[in-house]
Amino acid sequence: MYNALVVILIIISILIIATVMMQPSKQNSAASAFTGGADQLFGKQKARGFVAVMQRATTVLAILWMAIALILAIMNAK
């Protein structure tokens, strides 16, 4: 059981890396570096399409990763 969870954790880790790398950049211009993206602070819009799917996938994978890591820590402590 422990080894299977470790393998699943490694697979989820690779998937998290892939989903984060596939997300499009949110910086539109060089001015964002100086303003800190303040121009988008109040104009925040909901993500749509591919961006929304990638955000949800990253969130779900991160929650799964944390849960499995916690289970492995508890199993290792006993």
What residue spans define the domains of the chain?
A: 1-24+47-78
pLDDT band, very low/low/confident/very high, at 72 (cuts 50, 70, 90): very high
pLDDT at 17 over 80: yes
pTM of the model: 0.70
CB distance 76 to 5 below 8 Å:
no
Greater confidence (37 vs 5) lies with 5
Residue 77 has pLDDT above 80, yes or no: yes
CA distance readout (Å), 53 to 6, 17, 20, 59, 78: 26, 15, 12, 10, 38
For residue 61, pLDDT over 70 is answered with: yes
